[in-house]
């Protein structure tokens, strides 16, 4: 039986992979805000169910069966986020937490209705696709991290790491949201960026900039 807890672990492993993270017990404990012993017990159950493999070096990998469940849940999460934003007008920086609460309660029938209504190809309110991408995949599409941007260049925000509500509110207040145009004014010695956005000139530290994917554009922000 696939419980809510097991689904959460499988989705967290897939999410960590998509962020280019090394998936180990300590990382999962941090992502899911649980204790190390709780992760150990959960991985033991998932391995027994044939949903994960734990390698000799401690790295966790999804099996084909585990990946299928994780992808199904991430698609459901994606559809709920889009429903909340596109149909109900919820603010983009709020929808992730709400979708986390709703994703386990959605029936297959309702999921099918959402898929028919919204389609599978659209981006979520954070600019991310329904199929989780690796950093390499994003770069292949011509995207780069804001932290790697070039002073004097203009960019459009493509996608934002969505699993940190405080970060999303921080970026929103500075005019950094999906689709927003910005220009890099200066990179300081400590890697802090000076940006021009729709809200004016703002500063952004490296840790936050490394959570934002952008695409180059020659359009100056208005």
pLDDT at 221: 45
Q: How confident is the model at residue 3 (pLDDT cuts 50, 70, 90)?
A: confident
**By C-alpha distance, which of 206, 211, 209, 213 is closest to 139?**
213
Do residues 149 and 186 share a domain?
yes
Q: How confident is the model at residue 4 (pLDDT cuts 50, 70, 90)?
A: confident
pLDDT at 69: 94
pLDDT at 222: 46
CATH code (residue 181):
2.30.30.90
Residue range 169-184: mean pLDDT, rounded = 97
Q: How confident is the model at residue 165 (pLDDT cuts 50, 70, 90)?
A: very high
Q: How confident is the model at residue 27 (pLDDT cuts 50, 70, 90)?
A: confident
Return all residues near 108 (Cβ < 8 A) that are at least 6 apart. none
Residue 11 has pLDDT above 70, yes or no: yes
Number of domains in the chain: 3
Do residues 50 and 78 share a domain?
no
Give the domain-ending residue among 45, 62, 79: 62
CATH code (residue 77):
1.10.60.10
The pLDDT tens digits for 177-220 are 999 999 999 999 999 999 999 999 999 999 999 999 999 997 54
The pLDDT tens digits for 91-141 are 999 999 999 999 998 999 999 999 999 987 889 999 998 888 888 899 999
Parent domain of 201? 139-217
What DSSP assignment string belongs to 53-107? Answer: EE-TTS-EEE-HHHHHHHHHHHHHHHHHHHIIIIIT---TTTHHHHHHHHTTT--
In a domain, 17, yes or no: yes
Return all residues near 198 (Cβ < 8 A) that are at least 6 apart. 175, 180, 181, 221, 222
Residue 46 has pLDDT above 90, yes or no: yes
Phi/psi for 16 (5° steps) reads -65, -40
In a domain, 127, yes or no: no
**By C-alpha distance, which of 167, 214, 162, 169 is closest to 18?**
162
Q: How confident is the model at residue 1 (pLDDT cuts 50, 70, 90)?
A: low
Q: Please give the model's pTM, rounded to 2 decimal places.
A: 0.89
Q: Please provide the size of the chain in residues.
A: 222
In a domain, 31, yes or no: yes
């Amino acid at each position: 039986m696939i419980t809510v807890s097991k689904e959460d672990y499988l989705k967290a492993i897939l999410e960590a992979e998509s962020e280019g993270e090394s998936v180990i017990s300590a990382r999962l404990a941090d992502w899911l805000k649980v204790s190390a012993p709780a992760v150990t017990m959960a991985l033991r159950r998932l391995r027994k169910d044939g949903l994960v493999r734990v390698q000799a070096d401690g790295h966790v990998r999804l099996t084909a069966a585990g990946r299928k469940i994780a992808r199904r849940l991430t698609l459901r999460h994606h559809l709920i986020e889009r429903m909340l934003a596109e149909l109900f007008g919820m603010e983009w920086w709020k929808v992730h937490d709400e979708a986390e609460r709703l994703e386990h309660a959605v029936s297959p029938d309702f999921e099918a209705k959402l898929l028919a209504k919204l389609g599978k190809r659209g981006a979520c309110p954070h600019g991310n696709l329904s199929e989780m991408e690796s950093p390499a995949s994003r770069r292949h599409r011509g995207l780069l991290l804001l932290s790697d941007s070039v002073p004097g260049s203009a960019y459009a925000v493509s996608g934002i790491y969505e699993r940190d509500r405080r970060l999303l509110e921080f970026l929103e207040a500075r005019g950094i949201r999906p689709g927003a145009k910005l220009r890099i004014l200066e990179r300081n010695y400590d890697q802090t960026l000076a940006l021009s956005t729709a809200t004016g000139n703002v500063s952004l530290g490296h840790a936050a900039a490394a959570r934002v994917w952008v695409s180059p554009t020659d359009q100056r922000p208005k």
